[in-house]
Structure 1
Amino acid sequence: MSRTRVNNFSISLDGFGTGEGQSAEAPFGHAGDRLHQWMFATHWWHGPGGSGGVDDALAQRFEPGIGAEIMGANKFGYPGWHEDPAWKGPWGPNPPFHTPVFVLTHHTRPSIEMEGGTTFHFIDASPAEALATAREAARGQDVRIGGGPTVVRDFLAAGLVDHLHAVVVPIVLGRGVRLWDGLEGIDTQYEVEATSTPSGVTHVTFTRPGV
């Protein structure tokens, strides 16, 4: 059976996966791009001149083996995007997913086919229902849970995540949406490894035993 993965999910030292005050101009609220600067510097993202090492090696695991993605409404767009029928996400005409993407929302709409193989499907479903739908679309490949933090937390709480790669960034946000709330003891269900890198971030992987 395909695995359920979370890759390159950045959080602050105090556990926030996004800041407060999200908008069309600020998808991560007051956090800006500070949670993801480590990734922007890698060869995987930046191309020639980008950094290598552990940051790059782990960042590059984002795409291989993925057959579908599940994301939350707040990752797909700013608060209120469902009232704009022309909104197609913040990634431009060729989003970086290249697979079917299932957007969890109470405001469903017709699917949107984008360049590069990405098609957004809008579904109102529980984590287990969404995962079953995404697995069928993935055709044996893995399903990525893309965020935001509320969606990742819900899938972790439901016991549906096989592998989580969290990147702890040395900033304190103080407000926003936290990843770990309500997940006390989740670490006991996984094999946990942590690696610090010269960029200042710490990569923490949670892998379900036997997966």
Structure 2
Amino acid sequence: MHVRRAGPSAILIELAGTEAVFAAYELLTAARERGELTAEEIIPAARTVLLDGVPDPDLVFRLLPAGDKLPPAPAEEPKTIMISTRYDGEDLDDVARLWDTDRAGVVAIHTGTEFRVAFCGFAPGFAYLTGLGPRHHVPRRPSPRTRVPVGTVALAGPYSGVYPTASPGGWQLIGRTREKLFDLEKDEPALLTPGATVRFVEEA
């Protein structure tokens, strides 16, 4: 674990990987709820956690165990968000070949996985979902598409995700949902936030 200053009032914690990041995020969030941490924001990423509003790096060492093997923090059961999905993506057959199965097999694996929101980024409301084992990691497309429609369900590397808006993208497209992933009219605009669990349900 490496701790660095990020400006006058922020701290960047560098960790070994997503699992360590998630454990640190849970521990720090729990500490803030107990009043032991006054961070304005706790922002996880693939290998870092940014604490905004924490000028003292030593506080991190008091709250987190040394090393990267962080135990999970005791917390309430995370909410589970169900996303109804029509599995008709342009890359569904390619993913089936990579997984050595057919379209129905891809659907069964994807809907049978309990995903977890590891972190958010790329676009407002875009969540990186972990849960697929190494056997089902897939490469990005050789050439990104100039436009991926809003609501597209996709895969890349170890992650699954849903495009909250139409945008360029190089992920493997397997389906689409009508769920709104980002809505500025709501108190919490993003449907998927770090720590939440996600299940995909095949649309009838």
Q: TM-score, normalised by structure 1?
A: 0.24
Of Structure 1 and Structure 2, which has the larger fraction of its residues in helix? 1
**Structure with higher RCO (Cα < 8 A, 6+ apart):** 1
User: Based on CA coordinates, which of the two structures has the bigger radius of gyration?
Assistant: 2
